[in-house]
Amino acid sequence: MDAFFASVEQRDNPELRGKPIAVGGDSDRGVVATASYEARPWGVHSAMSMRVAKRLCPGLIVLPGRYQVYKEVSRQMHAIFHEYTDLVEPISLDEAFLDVTHNKKGIELAVDMPVR
């Protein structure tokens, strides 16, 4: 998932929806862990210096990470993955490979899998 941390923040705080946000350290040495889609047109992206991000996007809202929350949301997503297949290879909190060739739902084509 792209912009995972930022998406969780916008889900949990509707006032942040539609606004440019970055999750990460808010100091001169801070780094952007992720940026919302609204921040990206300004050139803000992950692994960028927060100081540079704030210069590029003056209205950027910087939030500290809530990694326990992201971990729980990730657990919920993986539970959904396992409704379709036991062949789940986690890569990180927001990434996984799924083999749905012979899935639990009997769906013939991966493109026909429902998106939640």
**Helices 67-84/4-12 angle, 10° precision:** 100
Active-site annotation holds for 89: no
Place of tokens 């297949």: 85
- Pairing relationship of beta strands 32-35 and 21-24 according to DSSP bridges: antiparallel
Beta bridge partners of 96: 90
9, 38, 72, 95: the catalytic one is 95
Can you say how many angstroms the Cα of residue 98 is from the centroid of all Cα atoms in its chain? 18
Burial class (CB in 10 A: 0-12, 13-18, 19+), 70: buried
Residue positions annotated with a catalytic role: 95
